[in-house]
Chains A and B, each alone.
Chain A
Amino acid sequence: MGKDRSTELGTDQQSERNEKKTDVIERKEQFKTSSSIPIERVYLPNQINGMYMEKLGLPGQYPYTRGIRRTMYRGRYWTMRQYAGFGSASETNKRFRYLLEQGQSGLSVAFDLPTQIGYDSDDPMALGEVGKVGVAIDTLDDMELLFKGISLDKVSTSMTINAPAAILLAMYIVVAEKQGVSQKSIKGTIQNDILKEYIARGTYIFPPQPSMRMITDIFAYCSEHTPKFNTISISGYHIREAGSTAVQELAFTLANAMAYVDAALKTGLSVDQIAPRIAFFFNGHNQFFEEIAKFRAARRMWAKIMKEKYGAEKEKSMQLRFHTQVAGSTLTAQQPDNNIVRVAIQALAAVLGGTQSLHTNAKDEALSLPTEESAQIALRTQQIIAHETGVTDTVDPLGGSYFIEALTDEMEKEATAYLKEIDKRGGAVSAIEQQYMQREIQRNAYESNKKVEVEEDIVVGVNKYQLEEEPQTELLRIDEAFVEEQVNRIQHIRNSRNNTEVKNCLANLKHAAADSSVNIMPYIIAAVKEYCTVGEICHALREVFGEY
């Protein structure tokens, strides 16, 4: 394997290179090392045989093991997308504008827990939680404030919202319309992955069946009206954070993905209608090579599943696109500066694994939400990897490594065994209802914690190399006074809107919810336009769907 391998590419590949000019635009005319050694786009084995093509293929080609684009980061870097949001909409708006000025390329909205679970800021259930882990959104009014001065045709926005995803998406659509931006051109992603909420993350509202129906309603609505919006981001991230192994993360995520595809197919949507809008979200954990292998195995498995099981024809349907966030659970409260190093190594694994977008954690997140300074270091970490290390100058630089390829194969094999077990249990929804995945994860979480306690696994600063006195660090505090302000805002909206229309909208929504042949998205959009609150809409749906 050497630099001249790529010059020995078969004529097929050569001609394909020249085919789609748009896909081959690269950042530079020529890539070189610091010693002026030219760097080729991709490096290949001496002999390209059928086995190689079947397992790896070329970047941008089925089964996409080496990446979903031919040029990967030689064309464009991944999207640097830092999850942010806290306190009030206006506070978060300021942070968004700051991040955009700092060179961040996409927005990622964190919502507070009451918003994620469908309670208004003045609901007794929201006590102590308003604005804590994200921004509090009660009505369209808050959403307008959140994106004030940010053109929704210019940014892509990722929203970490699941049970009430339809409501927040509806608000986003309406804010865009008010800005004069057509919903056809809005870009972004809603997480909308309820299954992993039951498994690992906990922000569910309704039982699995109606939740799945809401998701397929979103699929159907978006495939027609918001073609550039990713309608789901199927998340292994939280499964891993809850304590799973890398293989379990891979397997359970793909199992959930198949459950969504199955549900969509049942409603009459075609696989090529929905699959191109499916995105994935993985964890970037500590074990460097295993993580890289995981991303590569995920791409290969998904491509095979889509082609062989579902008969997908569009390339986009088979391409697993994913966002990565580095592992929050590996951050230590002890010696928090060490976390910068952990994050850098985890982020590097994500880049070497071919991620489409990346969130790097801030060093202080084991203690609180990040300060502006620590959030900046986190973003700078990505920028350093992108611009200074040269790892972006060739596609899948670790492809062909004996170790990486063996690990990739082994992870695929073990994850496939899990998929068979889940299939035997009647699919992901049934397996979740049987607590199968939850138990598997819990077992591993306990085992790995024990390993740290008996010092079989070393965590620097925690069970080895501890400091006597922990230095105090500056932490972000959320101004509690804002909660009262938020409560006043929502009460002001309740008094100033057209409450007759509000009642009508909610009644119509309930009717639509009760009839599973009706798509509820237009009814939610109508309710949002009349400034119905997230709590009111969720309450109306709770009455029809029940609560989990």
Chain B
Amino acid sequence: MRKIRVLVAKPGLDGHDRGALIISQALRDAGMEVIYTGLRQTPKKIVKAAIQEDVDAIGLSSLSGAHNVLFPEVVKLLKTENAEDILVFGGGVIPYEDIKNLEQNGIKKIFTPGTSTKTIAAFIEKAVMEKRNGQLGILDPPNGIDHIGIAVRSIDDALLFYRNHFSIEVEKVVEVESQQVKVAFLPLTNCKLELLEPLSDDGAIAKFINKKGEGIHHIAFSVNSLQDRLDQLKKEGVKLINETPKNGAGGYPIAFLHPKNANGVLVELCETHNNEGDE
């Protein structure tokens, strides 16, 4: 695995870099690769260096009171450069009441004087790994099964089985015009069943029933980073039915993969989890 790379930077005109130098050395001792910018860096220069050096994180240090202007500026420029995946943390002479504001403005964490360098190193490591996993979450297994789709001729008829023998209730019934399908949602504690009834002879479900008869139609995995995952699957040579996510009947983005790659199973991916921190 690639070593964590950190840019330690002194934005503004402040010349006190004892802290920045100590942090740099401590992060190196913690096994990271550290680039120190030296004094008097504009936010622009810092962002440029961070991108050139392909770092995972930027550590900003200011003791002159200019943090409220300069730190958010770095975050803003990272966004314009599409490099907001680079984490920003900071430290220096920073009053407590400024910290919340800075952290709301995209600074991942502010470390006040007296923080141990170990705490800082551990924080960066965790944040970077989380970020990396968030990005590369597409390589992780899905979070679970969101639902199982079952093709039926008539929802009303099929429900008799689930209601009479298992006391499973219907949460809602939705008609999806574009797919010519009516969907009944039957929630279980960790999964749902979707009963799919064709609205006409034209839709995918009608064709499926005509071809194979009633039965299990698809399995839906719950995932995050749906678009990234689709891109990655495409790169890996998986045939996709939907190359970009579309809105599913459940109210969240979904996409279908072609059954060919899954030994005849139609796989649906549901983005029930957003990218932010959720597993």
Chain A positions near chain B (C-beta within 8 angstroms): 113-114, 116-117, 119, 124-129, 132-133, 197, 201-203, 241-243, 329, 332-334, 365-369, 442, 445-446, 449, 453, 459, 461-463, 470, 472, 475, 478
Q: A125-B42, A462-B114, A475-B95 are in contact. Are A113 and B22 (CB under 8 A)?
A: no
Check A332 against B16 for contact (C-beta < 8 Å): no
* Chain A proximity of B4: nearest CB distance (Å): 20
Name the A residues within 8 Å of B139 (CB-CB): none
Check B18 against A114 for contact (C-beta < 8 Å): no
Question: In the assembly, what is the distance between CA of A462 and CA of B114, in Å?
Answer: 6
Q: A366-B113, A368-B93, A470-B96 are in contact. Are A129 and B12 (CB under 8 A)?
A: yes
Name the B residues within 8 Å of A128 (CB-CB): 12, 66-70, 73
Tell whether B118 is near chain A: CB-to-CB under 8 Å: yes
Check B13 against A129 for contact (C-beta < 8 Å): yes
Tell whether B51 is near chain A: CB-to-CB under 8 Å: no
Of A127, A201, A368, which is within 8 A of B15 by CB?
Answer: A201
Q: A125-B42, A332-B114 are in contact. Are A197 and B15 (CB under 8 A)?
A: yes
Of B22, B39, B94, B113, which is within 8 A of A202 by CB?
Answer: B39
Tell whether B133 is near chain A: CB-to-CB under 8 Å: no
Interface of B, helix, strand, loop or mixed by DSSP: loop
Check A202 against B12 for contact (C-beta < 8 Å): no
Check B118 against A453 for contact (C-beta < 8 Å): yes
Question: In the assembly, what is the distance between CA of A449 and CA of B117, in Å?
Answer: 9
Q: A113-B13, A241-B18, A442-B21 are in contact. Are A368 and B114 (CB under 8 A)?
A: no
Of A133, A203, A333, A445, which is within 8 A of B22 by CB?
Answer: A445
Can you list 9 A-B pairs, Cβ within 8 angstroms, ordered by A? A113-B64, A125-B40, A129-B64, A133-B65, A241-B16, A365-B93, A368-B93, A446-B22, A459-B114
- A475 and chain B: residue at smallest CB distance: B95
Name the B residues within 8 Å of A366 (CB-CB): 93, 113
* Chain A proximity of B256: nearest CB distance (Å): 51
* Chain B proximity of A311: nearest CB distance (Å): 36
Of A117, A329, A462, A463, which is within 8 A of B18 by CB?
Answer: A329
Question: In the assembly, what is the distance between CA of A333 and CA of B66, in Å?
Answer: 18
Tell whether B116 is near chain A: CB-to-CB under 8 Å: yes
Among B18, B113, B118, chain A packs the most CB atoms within 10 A around the CB of B18
Check B13 against A475 for contact (C-beta < 8 Å): no
* Chain B proximity of A452: nearest CB distance (Å): 8
Range of interface residues on B (Cβ < 8 Å): 20 to 34
Check B13 against A125 for contact (C-beta < 8 Å): yes
Check A449 against B22 for contact (C-beta < 8 Å): yes
* Chain B proximity of A201: nearest CB distance (Å): 5
Name the B residues within 8 Å of A329 (CB-CB): 18
Tell whether B17 is near chain A: CB-to-CB under 8 Å: yes
Closest 3 CB pairs of A and B: A202-B15, A128-B69, A128-B66
Tell whether B112 is near chain A: CB-to-CB under 8 Å: yes
* Chain B proximity of A446: nearest CB distance (Å): 5
Name the A residues within 8 Å of B22 (CB-CB): 243, 445-446, 449
Check B70 against A368 for contact (C-beta < 8 Å): no
* Chain B proximity of A133: nearest CB distance (Å): 5
Chain B positions near chain A (C-beta within 8 angstroms): 12-18, 21-22, 25-26, 39-40, 42, 64-70, 73, 93-97, 112-114, 116-118
Name the A residues within 8 Å of B66 (CB-CB): 127-129, 132
Of A332, A369, A442, which is within 8 A of B65 by CB?
Answer: A369
Of B13, B73, B93, B118, which is within 8 A of A117 by CB?
Answer: B13
Q: A367-B96, A470-B96, A472-B96 are in contact. Are A478 and B65 (CB under 8 A)?
A: yes
Check B64 against A133 for contact (C-beta < 8 Å): yes
* Chain B proximity of A456: nearest CB distance (Å): 13
* Chain B proximity of A71: nearest CB distance (Å): 38
Question: In the assembly, what is the distance between CA of A365 and CA of B64, in Å?
Answer: 11
Question: In the assembly, what is the distance between CA of A252 and CA of B97, in Å?
Answer: 39
- A453 and chain B: residue at smallest CB distance: B116
Among B16, B39, B42, B70, chain A packs the most CB atoms within 10 A around the CB of B16
Name the B residues within 8 Å of A442 (CB-CB): 21, 25
Check B97 against A203 for contact (C-beta < 8 Å): no
- A476 and chain B: residue at smallest CB distance: B95
Among A127, A203, A329, A459, chain B packs the most CB atoms within 10 A around the CB of A127
* Chain A proximity of B249: nearest CB distance (Å): 50
Name the A residues within 8 Å of B95 (CB-CB): 367-368, 475
Known: A367-B96, A459-B114. 20 other contacts (CB 8 A): A113-B15, A114-B13, A119-B13, A125-B13, A127-B69, A128-B70, A129-B14, A129-B66, A133-B65, A197-B15, A202-B17, A333-B112, A365-B93, A367-B95, A442-B25, A445-B18, A446-B25, A449-B117, A462-B114, A463-B116
* Chain B proximity of A286: nearest CB distance (Å): 15
Among B12, B21, B64, B114, chain A packs the most CB atoms within 10 A around the CB of B114
